[in-house]
Amino acid sequence: MKKIAVIGEILVEIMADRPGLGFFEPLALTGPYPSGAPAIFIDQVARLGQPCGIVSSVGHDDFGQINLSRLQADGVDVSAVSIDPARPTGSAFVRYREDGARDFIFNIEHAACGRITLTPQAEHLFQKADHLHVMGSSLSSDRLVEINLAAAETIKARGGTLSFDPNLRKEMLSRQEMRAAMQRILGMTDLFLPSGEELTLLTEAARDQDALAELLGQGVRAIVHKQGAKGAEYHDADGSVRAPAFPVEEIDPTGAGDCFGATFTTHWLRGTDPERALRLAAAAGALAVGKRGPMEGTSDGETIEAFIKHHEGDV
Ligand code: ADP
């Protein structure tokens, strides 16, 4: 089975226990929950039984241990997660507004995950990996860009593949070097997983159709365009497939895109046909939005199958 590697932040998330409250008010908080987009992604991959590992850094503290224990228990290779004695594990405070929008206060830059380096353990993981998943959020510093590019070159030189979820925050694109880094990664991408307007943002195109043609023309083999509760679309040189989202109550949307992306990528690597891979991924995304806590919504293959069976006929 192909081994998937990812690089990026491991955090704990602590959230307001109900929507509509500001950080200025005395809040009841819930957590800490294991989090970080790359960590959620790789945990979902592991829960599907696919070999995988993460390159990251946590502090020598309980928040780091919560994450390491969870990832390890679910089957993620954490040998390339370094323990930084000088910095705490990253954290994020989250509150939800009544309309579902979220506000975050992040502690990443000065935390352990803000200092991820290319260690011998990381290089060893890249030597063993067949596929690299790149998260836009983990291209936030020159050092992280270098590590992602080094991994991409090592893995692709051995005939491996690369998937890319831009996971963009608008402020990232205003930095010219960040845009250039994303475009370099896009130039090496086999499977592209943009969400909403991210499809056009890294291209010259103004319309989705033109962006798809441009990306497929420049060597991207497959594109999965995520559209939240509206579902997702798959495109390759042979055509397109659409999968609606499952109608579920949204409890906590954090992590849905990562669970969806991880499930699609794993099945893409296994050679599952795109229509079925999309349906499995949509189920993983729906299961994720139905659970509070970013990594609490990852699911194993059996749970995903049972969910689809239960919702047969709904979509
Ligand atoms: P991202 O978080 O990367 O922006 P999306 O929000 O588009 O990704 O979510 C990815 C997928 O997860 C969607 O295509 C859909 O299948 C599923 N999903 C997301 N939000 C919901 C929701 N509220 N209800 C049901 N499924 C959802």
Q: What is the pLDDT of residues 152-175, one digit of tens each?
A: 999 999 999 999 999 887 666 677
- Ligand 1 touching residue 294 (CB < 6 A): no
- Centroid of ligand 1 to alpha carbon of 268 (angstroms): 18
Q: Residue 244 CA: which ligand 1 atom is closest?
A: 16
Given this model, what pLDDT does residue 175 score? Answer: 72
Q: What is the pLDDT of residues 122-135, one digit of tens each?
A: 999 999 999 999 99
Q: Residue 258 CA: which ligand 1 atom is closest?
A: 3
Q: Which amino acid residue places its CA nearest to atom 2 of ligand 1?
A: 257
What is the ipTM, given to two decimal places? 0.97
Structure tokens at 74: 């679910």
Given this model, what pLDDT does residue 99 score? Answer: 82
CB 236 within 8 A of CB 224: no
Distance CA 129, CA 50 (A): 12
Q: Which amino acid residue places its CA nearest to atom 22 of ligand 1?
A: 229
**How much of the chain exceeds pLDDT 90, in percent?**
80
Distance CA 123, CA 85 (A): 21
Distance CA 48, CA 74 (A): 9
Across the chain, which distance is largest between two alpha carbons, in Å?
55
Given this model, what pLDDT does residue 274 score? Answer: 97
Given this model, what pLDDT does residue 62 score? Answer: 98
- Centroid of ligand 1 to alpha carbon of 228 (angstroms): 4
Q: What is the pLDDT of residues 278-310, one digit of tens each?
A: 999 999 999 999 999 999 999 999 999 999 999
Best CA proximity match to 118, nearest among 139, 163, 148, 159: 148
- Centroid of ligand 1 to alpha carbon of 230 (angstroms): 8
Percent helix, strand, coil in the chain, to 5, is 40, 25, 35
Q: Residue 255 CA: which ligand 1 atom is closest?
A: 2
CB 264 within 8 A of CB 194: no
Domains, the chain, in order of start with CATH, read: 7-34+57-115 (3.40.1190.30)
- Ligand 1 touching residue 287 (CB < 6 A): no
- Ligand 1 touching residue 282 (CB < 6 A): yes
Q: What is the pLDDT of residues 231-254, one digit of tens each?
A: 999 999 999 999 999 999 988 888
CB 9 within 8 A of CB 36: yes
CB 70 within 8 A of CB 34: yes
Given this model, what pLDDT does residue 92 score? Answer: 96
Handedness of CA 209, 261, 169, 139 (dihedral sign): negative
Q: Residue 286 CA: which ligand 1 atom is closest?
A: 26
Structure tokens at 6: 């990812």
Structure tokens at 98: 């009544």
Distance CA 243, CA 241 (A): 7
Q: What is the pLDDT of residues 55-103, one digit of tens each?
A: 999 999 999 999 999 999 999 999 999 999 999 999 999 998 888 788 8
**Burial classification of residue 201, based on how many CB atoms lie within 10 Å of its CB (0-12 exposed, 13-18 middle, 19 or more buried):** middle
- 130-158 mean pLDDT: 94
- Centroid of ligand 1 to alpha carbon of 187 (angstroms): 26
- Centroid of ligand 1 to alpha carbon of 192 (angstroms): 16
Distance of CA 25 to the CA centre of its chain: 31
In what helix (H) or strand (E) does residue 52 lie, and over which residues does it extend?
strand 52-59
